[in-house]
Amino acid sequence: MHAPQAVLLLLTAVVLGMRHAFDRDHVAAVTHFISLEPEPLKSAWFGFRWALGHAVTVLALGSLILILHLKFDPAFERYAELAVGITLITLGIWRLFLLWQERRHTHRHAHLQKQHSHEHGHQPGREHVHRFAPTAVGMVHGASGTAELFVLIPITLISTTWLAYLYIMLFSAGCALTMSTYGYVVGRFYRRANATGQRIYRILVVLTSMSGLALGFVWIMKNL
């Protein structure tokens, strides 16, 4: 492959990676995590960790094609898409449950030298998020069909192995850059909502969770 063609191919990988980050299932999943940590930099970190998991799966599948010359059965894509749907439903239920816990949690404390109990909402926090959860979700999404369209099929047309791996890396870098930026921007939005009032914040979380649940059910029905 000539140098200009290689450069164009690699630039295309970056653009496709940036485009891939905005798939509906990706945005829905990462937004659940962002709503728990509405601080821009921390939210960007959620996006990056999701993209890291996505990159690991794409790299693994790409290596099976490049090194072992495997061809994936159509059933693999179907099961991968079903896993994405199940993940979206699980995240939606999980986020609603945490919101319910935040709302209903009670504790006893001293106030004006008297003991009493009251209900209060907790601020969203990192203690609710498992360290590897965003990365694990990203790994599930990395196996779905769009990655095959954008990465796994194109690398079969690249004759040089190192160039194919560079294509995968740049695709993943574009995806990570976009998802991290998305996390930062949406994190600012959620922080603003949380500062405005708990009622507005809770409504926003419910809408986010319900949309994720609906998308998950649609995803599953399309692939049954």
With CA atoms as reference, report the closest residue to 74 among 176, 159, 125, 145: 145
pLDDT digits (tens, 9 = 90+) for 136-169: 999 999 988 666 667 777 787 787 888 889 999 9
Q: Which residue has the tokens 């009493």?
A: 116
Q: How confident is the model at residue 120 (pLDDT cuts 50, 70, 90)?
A: very low
Domains of the chain, by residue range, sit at 3-104+124-223
pLDDT digits (tens, 9 = 90+) for 12-26: 899 999 999 999 999
pLDDT digits (tens, 9 = 90+) for 59-83: 999 888 888 888 877 788 889 999 9
With CA atoms as reference, report the closest residue to 38 among 161, 210, 179, 195: 195
Q: How confident is the model at residue 107 (pLDDT cuts 50, 70, 90)?
A: very low
Indicate the pTM of the whole model.
0.85
- What's the pLDDT at 54? 95
- Both structure tokens of 179: 């998802």
Lowest average pLDDT, out of 20-24, 101-105, 112-116, 166-170, goes to: 112-116
**Percent of the chain's residues with pLDDT above 90:** 53
